[in-house]
Each structure stands twice: as C-alpha cells, then as structure tokens.
Structure 1
Amino acid sequence: MISKPYEDIKTGDTATTNSRIITAEYVRAFGELTGDNHPLHTNAQYAEQTRFGKQIAHGALMISTLLGLVELHPSYLQCFYSLDNLRFKAPSYFGDSVYAVCEILAVTPHKDGESAVVTSAAKLINQDGVTVLSGDFSLLVAGRSTALADPALKAQGAP
C-alpha cells in the first residue's frame, strides 16, 4: 500500500494482500516475545471453557499481522503515526488464513512540508470472508525529495 512517495498516493486507492496462516507456533512465539501468555492463547483445555471454544490468536498479534501483510516500502514509510477506530470483530483461530484489504482515506501534508500522513481504512479478513479486525491506520510517508535509497539495493552493492 505504501510503495511510492506520498505525492503519488491518491484517496480511494485500494490494495489486497497475500494471506498468512495463523499457526500455534506463530501465536506461541508472539506470546514469548511480548510476555502475553494468557491461557486463552496458550492452553487448549482452558480455551475450550471460554466463549471461543478453542485457542485464539492475540488481538495485538492480529494488528501486527495486518501491518506485516501490507506493503510498507522502507524508502517511503517513515513511521507508524496513529491507529483509530480499531475494532476486533471476530477471533482468529489456529489454522485460519487471513489477508488484508486497505483503502486510502486521506493524504494530509505534514507540517514539515516533506512528508504526508497517509490514512488507510484497513481490514483483516479470514478465509471465510469474515472481518477479523478493522481500523484506520495512519502512516508518515516520505515525498519524492525525502525518499531513502532502497536498502535491498544497498545490500546488493548499488550506490
């Protein structure tokens, strides 16, 4: 979604990503990394007794999954700016496949004059077409004059 300078991003632009499968290992690793080892995510017997009936992925992991699926090219993405109107609409279970759909809502020039806040309505959707989460994600995006060199090219020895 962020693959070009802000001057080339237009309100109404849309993108759909590839999918990712939510595995037990993925959820376990996230729990270890963050210290969030709630039994709803880590203990099948506990999770069976909950309203969900089985283990689910962390909500924060699903936000991160959405951000990981969306193209955020390092030459243009400067930083994550804000997240508004976040709603968790359905759980993500182990074995679910999810993908993201985004639509640009606004491109607002930043006060620095060299970047813009790009706001996108984003949804994470599972294999059944159920929206797992939605929210308005805002990112600070470089313009043509402030875009950085592609780090992949530098790693390959390009100037």
Structure 2
Amino acid sequence: MSSTAAEVPEALHGPGTRAPYFEDFEVGQRFTGPERVFSAAVVAAFAEVSGDEHPLHTEHGHSADGRPLVHGPLGLSGFFGWHHRLGLSTHVEAAFDTRWQYLAPLYVGDAVTYEMTVTRCRRTSALTNGVIGRHVVVRNQHGTVVQEGQTSALVTARAAVDDHESRLGRAFPTVAWGRRLAERLNEAPAFTEATGTWDGTIGLRFDLDQLLFRVYRGRVIDCGPRTPDGPAFTLGAPDVVWTELITGPANDFTQRAMKDQFTVHGNAYEYLRLTRAIISLVDEARVLAGSPAPRKGN
C-alpha cells in the first residue's frame, strides 16, 4: 500500500478521527508530502534556539552563491514537523531509536521533500499500542538525497486486540514469521530442489536483527535467532531494502544484489551455490506478505 499526502486523511481515517492509530499502519506503506523550504528566517530561528550561530549558518556558506548552510539537525526536526502536519502524530505516545545520516549539504532557500516507508509494525504485549518502524529519505529540489534515517514511534491502538495472526505475513524478522515462512519453504519445489543435498544454516539479517534457518536436505528443520553451529553465511540489508523487496511489485533480489544493497558474511561460495534457494525464499516471503506472485517462468 502506498499513501501520498493527499490520500492520508482519507486512507487512514478511523471511526471518529482524522489521525491513524496503530492498526492503520502496515509494513510497506509509503508516505510523501509537499516540499518544505528552509528560508533564511527558519534557519535563523533554529540557530537561535539551538545556540549554533556559527557564521556558516547565519552569514555565508560554501555554495556557489554563498548561501548559508542549513543546520543538519534542522532536516531531522523538519521530518517531525512534516509528520505532524500530515496528521500522523496525533496518536504517537513516544518517539525513540532515531538514527540519522547527513549525506549532502542543505543551503538556505533549498526545498526538501520527505518520504517515509513503514518498515516494521509490532503490537506490544499490553495490546493497547504498538511500535512502528519508519525509514525516511530527505531529498532537495534537485532530487538529491541529502539526509536519510530510521526512527521508531510508539502509537496508540484503536482497540486492545490480538491481531498477531493477521499481521504475521509482514512481521519480519520475528521468529513466528520465520517459522511460517519455513512451512512454505518446505512445500516449495524450487527451494527443496535447490537445497536437496545441503546441510547447513542460512542467516538473514534485517538491520540489526538476525534470523537463522537450519536446513537439512531440502527442509527447514529449525528457525530462530541462533543455532549451535551458526550460519554458513548471513545475507544482510537495512530494513527498508527487505521491505521493498518483500512488499514491492516484483522479486528483484538479483538486481538489488548487483547494486550492493545486500552484504554477505561467512562462506561466499555457499551463498552463490544457494542463490536459487534465496530467490525462492524471497518468492515465498512475498506470497506470505500478500505481494504480487511471481510470473510463470521466473
């Protein structure tokens, strides 16, 4: 599901509210909105509030026309303002676990757009709220990615219900999701054939979390965060890459791997040997997530 700024008020309304609750978010959702211009007045106000009144921000910068440099953290602060203006913050109880990268400079007068992708949705054990993982990309008026980061929010739930089963298809990388995926892999001819003579463990790393699949001659016999002997190799990527791969329009794992969006740690030979198995694993994960099925012949 993809939502734009214009669609947010309609797509995420709950009964009697104009703001989304936890239940209204889903892994794979993407939000965008109108651009935000960092004017001289905005930058001056941020300089005063933060106390960082260095001349680079208030008088002159290193741009071709000498425009002052926008404070990097203003880009991050602008995200939370953007989030609020879209009506996404009404039921946020807390924000935490924010990691941010400053990739290119912003100058006074630049216009930025924010793009937010939901990468995780996990209801808490209390059932009254849930944690939403978000990946954010900030682009300037030229389309250049100037900042990028991840941040999570605790969001109030509309009702205290256990929706674990209905959300399981996109609950990666939980153990419950892995075990449901393992059931599918054991019935998938492409996977069982590719691993029919193999005895070892495949590791998948989603950002900082790892999930291991113990495989013995065509069957996944165990799944969890660790195994006695460890993985033969671990295939890793940021949450947003896995989210796009599993919930996007097609299984483009090969193209993403060629663009170095994934890293491999461990036995690279075993990874190459099991490439077909990995592609099948992604196919089954996509079916589990309710994404478009692979076309025949792929």
* Secondary structure, counterpart of 1:120 in structure 2: strand
Structure 1 spans left out of the alignment, 5+ residues: 147-159
Residue 138, structure 1, aligned to residue 146, structure 2 = no
* Secondary structure, counterpart of 1:121 in structure 2: strand
Corresponding position of 2:280: none
Distance 1:118 1:106 in 2: 6
Corresponding position of 1:58: 71
Distance 2:71 2:56 in 1: 9
Corresponding position of 1:77: 92
Query: If the length of structure 1 is used for normalisation, what is the TM-score?
Result: 0.80
Residue 4, structure 1, aligned to residue 20, structure 2 = yes
Distance 2:120 2:28 in 1: 8
Whose RCO is larger (CA < 8 A, sep 6+)? 1
* Secondary structure, counterpart of 1:18 in structure 2: coil
> Which protein has the larger Cα radius of gyration, Structure 1 or Structure 2?
2
Calculate the aligned-residue CA RMSD, in Å. Answer: 2.3
* Secondary structure, counterpart of 1:79 in structure 2: strand
Q: CA deviation at 1:16?
A: 0.6
Distance 2:138 2:89 in 1: 22
Distance 1:72 1:91 in 2: 28
Paired amino acid for 2:51: G
Q: 1:136 to 1:72 in 2, by over 3 A?
A: farther
Higher helix share: 2
Q: Any conservation in 2 of the 1:89–1:132 contact (CA below 8 Å)?
A: yes
Structure 2 spans left out of the alignment, 5+ residues: 1-7, 13-18, 161-298
Corresponding position of 2:114: 100
* Residue-by-residue CA offset, 1:16-51 (whole Å, 9 max, x unaligned): 11111111110000111121112210122xx34x9x
Equivalent of 1:23, from 34, 39, 50? 39
Equivalent of 2:135, from 92, 98, 121? 121
Q: Any conservation in 2 of the 1:57–1:93 contact (CA below 8 Å)?
A: yes
The sequence identity of aligned pairs, in percent, is: 28
Distance 1:130 1:145 in 2: 41
Q: Any conservation in 2 of the 1:121–1:137 contact (CA below 8 Å)?
A: yes
Q: CA deviation at 1:114?
A: 1.1
How many residues are matched? 142
Corresponding position of 2:48: 32
Distance 2:33 2:93 in 1: 21
Residue 67, structure 1, aligned to residue 80, structure 2 = yes
Q: CA deviation at 1:75?
A: 3.6
Higher strand share: 1
Paired amino acid for 1:133: Q
